[in-house]
Amino acid sequence: MTIHVRVRAESSPGEKRVAATPDSVKKLLAAGATVEVESGAGLGSLITDAAYEAAGARIVDRDQARSPGILFHVRPLTPGEIAALPAGTVTIGTLDAFQNPAAVAAARDANVTSFALDLLPRISRAQSMDVLSSQALLAGYRLVTLAADAFGRMFGMTMTAAGTLAPARVLVLGAGVAGLQAIATAKRLGGVVSANDVRAASADEVRSVGGTFIDLDLGTAEAGGGYAKELAEDRARRQQELLAPHIAASDIVITTAAVPGRTAPRLVTADMVAAMKPGSVLVDLAAESGGNIEGSVPGERRSLPVAGGAVTLIGARDIQSDLAPDASKLYAMNCANFAALIVKGGELVLDFDDELLSGSVVARDGAIVTERVAATVEVGLASASRGSGAEPQKEPASAGRGSGAEPQKEPASASRGSGAEPQKEPA
């Protein structure tokens, strides 16, 4: 029986991305699948229903009856959305499993096979399916444009007969994909850019995209697979102390640090913000996960008083949706490339001997098959049943991302030769 792929219209407020484009639809059809796209799913990314139909997809309504198949999604599905799926459905998208234990439990209870692309193993074969890298690249670019818009001055040095305008001094904390893209973008705008990260390879990567690496002499903190691991409390405190003068001297500070399943590490305190020059700008990519900068609020642009004036603090939210057409193009092909692993001649073939499948599947056959996720679900649901409000089980520190907010890989637009394996643009 020919497998069908269904593409949902995202229901999360502010989410403009979609998990398929006309180009990715053609790739899925070439693999033998049929494709259904929910009406209006692509409008936020400037893709009409007619464009999907021209590519060979069928436009359907969300409540239209359907048999099990493959469901593509961008944002994690809610427990209710999962419970409404036919048994045997295969879902492909981001899951954020450590923060969504109820959704994982719903997939188990509904006998849904759930693949989390945000848990893909960090190997070369996974690059064309790597949603974390493709979306972080766009986030890094957008962070700089947000900062530039709020800065109120020119970024680059300009020399005129009437005088010289000094370049903006930009500090980027975290040199993963988003951080490296932010460095490269700020440099192209003419800023003087410096950066810090706790991984051994980060110094060369920062320099490869035109930044100056700040060595805090704290040693390195690596967890393998290109990830940084969370600093111990004393080292984290020392990191703040050593960063303070660099932050005070900066016109723009961009932070990108996050740890899956944990509150984002605090890199910039309120006292550090208060020591900055009037007119300075801070942008926090991790605002939705607790914030690298004290006082940041997701989706809000705040004016904070400092001596002689104020600084602007921007908390990022739905930042990839600001660039929805490009974000959807990359995300959709990430999903289609992953689907190519399980759709063979139009039929669903699940080979869990493939490490990409076994490493990213969270629930199947009525069970949660990833041990660390299973532990999170047990603790999270127990806390919910007690009404304690306790946080879910945290992901082991060895899998954390420390001072890099996303996978620590070079962005496609970055300079080669950094020693990091570059992100490949999906075919």
* Catalytic one of 127, 202, 321, 418: 127
Our answer to whether residue 130 is catalytic in this structure is yes
Minimal CA–CA distance to 16: which of 297, 333, 331?
A: 331
Phi-psi bin for 164: left (phi > 0), alpha (psi -120 to 50), beta? beta
102-119 average pLDDT score: 95
Distance between CA 281 and CA 148 in Å, rounded? 9
DSSP 103-135: HHHHHHHTT-EEEEGGG--SSGGGGGG-HHHHH
Residue 231 near residue 241 (C-beta atoms within 8 A): no
Minimal CA–CA distance to 112: which of 350, 363, 335, 376?
A: 363
Distance between CA 274 and CA 278 in Å, rounded? 9
Phi-psi bin for 340: left (phi > 0), alpha (psi -120 to 50), beta? alpha
Does residue 223 surpass a pLDDT of 60?
Answer: no
The predicted pLDDT at position 229 comes to: 56
Q: Which two tokens stand for residue 305?
A: 């008083």
Distance between CA 13 and CA 9 in Å, rounded? 11
The predicted pLDDT at position 275 comes to: 97
| Residue 131, burial from CB neighbour count under 10 angstroms (0-12, 13-18, 19+) | buried
Q: Which two tokens stand for residue 201?
A: 């390879």
* Number of C-beta neighbours around residue 155 at 10 A: 23
Distance between CA 266 and CA 293 in Å, rounded? 6
* Catalytic one of 17, 122, 142, 199: 122
Minimal CA–CA distance to 87: which of 369, 364, 340?
A: 364
Phi-psi bin for 411: left (phi > 0), alpha (psi -120 to 50), beta? beta
The residues, ordered by sequence, that sit 6+ positions from 327 with a Cβ below 8 Å of its Cβ are 17, 45, 134, 135, 138, 320, 321
Sorting pLDDT into bands at 50, 70 and 90, what band is 405?
Answer: very low
Distance between CA 368 and CA 360 in Å, rounded? 12
Does residue 393 surpass a pLDDT of 70?
Answer: no
Q: What are phi and psi of 26, to 5 degrees?
A: -60, -35
Distance between CA 66 and CA 52 in Å, rounded? 19
Our answer to whether residue 133 is catalytic in this structure is yes
* Catalytic one of 6, 52, 114, 130: 130
Residue 177 near residue 206 (C-beta atoms within 8 A): no
* Catalytic one of 52, 141, 227, 331: 227
Minimal CA–CA distance to 36: which of 65, 62, 61, 6?
A: 6
Instruction: Report the predicted TM-score, pTM, of the whole model to 2 decimal places.
Output: 0.85
Q: What are phi and psi of 113, to 5 degrees?
A: -90, 115
If you search the block for the tokens 């469901």, which residue do you land on? 71
The predicted pLDDT at position 378 comes to: 72
Sorting pLDDT into bands at 50, 70 and 90, what band is 222?
Answer: low
Which residues does residue 268 pair with via DSSP β-bridges, in sequence order?
293
Which residues does residue 4 pair with via DSSP β-bridges, in sequence order?
34
Our answer to whether residue 227 is catalytic in this structure is yes
The residues, ordered by sequence, that sit 6+ positions from 262 with a Cβ below 8 Å of its Cβ are 230, 289, 394, 395, 400
Does residue 299 surpass a pLDDT of 70?
Answer: yes
Sorting pLDDT into bands at 50, 70 and 90, what band is 426?
Answer: very low
Which residues does residue 403 pair with via DSSP β-bridges, in sequence order?
none
Sorting pLDDT into bands at 50, 70 and 90, what band is 47?
Answer: very high
25-40 average pLDDT score: 96
The predicted pLDDT at position 380 comes to: 63
